[in-house]
Amino acid sequence: MQAVTKPSRLVGILGGMGPSATADFYTKLIAHTPASLDQEHLRVVIWADPTVPSRQEAILAGGPDPSPWLEAGIGRLIGCGAEIVVVPCNTVHKYLPQIMDGKPTEFISIIDTTIHAVQRDAVGGPIGVLATDGALSAGIFQEALGEAGFGIALPWPEEQTKLMDVVNRVKAGLTGPTLLQDMYSVLASLERQGARTAILGCTELSTLLASDSDDYPVKLIDPAVELAIATISRAIKHT
């Protein structure tokens, strides 16, 4: 990847959903930037608002619509001069295309970058989707994968319950070996359905599992990594 030779375009990160996932994304953005000096890294502004209402409750139970909070956060980033906006949360992408439509800044979708990675790296069979109940209900990944011509494998109900428990424990800062054991069980259920590739479609899972590891039953694609790589490419395009 091309190194940053002059100040990058300003990247705006809308975060806080959740806070650890935002920090993890910024860490990945730094790790994948081809820089040997501070001055070669991207210019970034982060608006992290953990008060955004639950996307799960909004989608599944008619809870408060998070759109006004998202609009306000994006407005703050644009007000800071952001030329690119990214959001390291998968479920919230149910709302973002409409919100970003017509905004005077480039928007890079974590869903689009993930599908590009699937097209590049998938190793056959249906694509496993590890996502929140809300994201699955909204069909965010299922629709995108279907349009790209891929079959889909979802965790069985008991494994999906286990996955949501992992997500909630990560959000609560509760870590330990049982989380990895539970995730291995979920991944194994996808493998038994014929999946050889799976998407870590929740950024809390991105903080827990390393997509470059060979220790799992299926190959993992991390949307946070793919979004970081795409963001770097677009941010330094003019340099």
Q: Which two tokens stand for residue 80?
A: 């800071």
How high is the mean pLDDT of the chain? 94
Residue 142, in any domain of the structure = yes
| Residue 5: inside a domain | no
What's the sign of the alpha-carbon dihedral 130, 133, 139, 140?
Answer: negative
Nearest Cα residue to 96 out of 84, 108, 80 = 108
- Number of neighbouring beta carbons within 10 Å of residue 124: 9
Q: What local confidence, expressed as pLDDT, does residue 212 receive?
A: 85
pLDDT at residue 4 tops 70: no
Could you tell me if 125 and 189 lie in one domain?
Answer: yes
pLDDT of residue 1: 54
Residue 120 counted as domain residue: yes
In a shared domain, residues 210 and 120: yes
pLDDT > 90: percent of the chain? 89
- Confidence at residue 183, expressed as pLDDT on a 0 to 100 scale: 94
Alpha carbon of residue 119 to chain centroid: 17
Among 128-142, 171-185, 222-236, name the one with the lowest average pLDDT: 171-185
Reported pTM: 0.94
Question: Residue 233 above 60 pLDDT?
Answer: yes
Closest among 21, 89, 18, 74 to 50, alpha carbons compared = 18
What is the reported pLDDT for 176?
82
Instruction: Report the CATH number at residue 196.
Output: 3.40.50.1860
In a domain, 6, yes or no: no
CB 74 within 8 A of CB 190: no
Of 16, 171, 23, whose CA–CA distance to 31 is shortest? 23
Tell me the mean pLDDT in the region 169-173.
Answer: 91
198 touches 131 (CB < 8 A): no
Neighbours of 37 (CB within 10 A): 8
pLDDT at 174 over 90: no
Contact between residue 74 and residue 104 where contact means Cβ atoms under 8 Å apart: no
pLDDT (tens digit per residue) in 207-224 = 999 888 888 999 999 999
Are 49 and 143 contained in the same domain? no
The gap from C-alpha 229 to its chain's centroid, in whole angstroms, comes to 12
Q: What residues act catalytically?
A: 89, 202
pLDDT at 107: 98
| Residue 95 three-state SS | coil
Same domain, 95 and 115: no
Q: Is 197 helix (H, G, I), strand (E, B) or coil?
A: strand
Would you say residue 101 has pLDDT above 60? yes
pLDDT per position as a tens digit, 7-24: 999 999 999 999 999 999
Q: Which domain holds residue 50?
A: 11-110+226-235
pLDDT digits (tens, 9 = 90+) for 118-136: 999 998 899 999 999 999 9
In the predicted structure, residue 239 carries a pLDDT above the cut 70: no
What is the C-alpha separation between 142 and 136, in angstroms, rounded? Answer: 8
**Euclidean distance between CA atoms 199 and 149, whole angstroms:** 16
**11-15 and 44-48 strand pairing:** parallel
Q: Is there a contact between 197 and 218 (Cβ–Cβ < 8 Å)? A: yes
Which tens digits make up the pLDDT trace of 70-88?
999 999 999 999 999 999 9
Confidence grade of residue 55 (pLDDT, cut at 50, 70, 90): very high
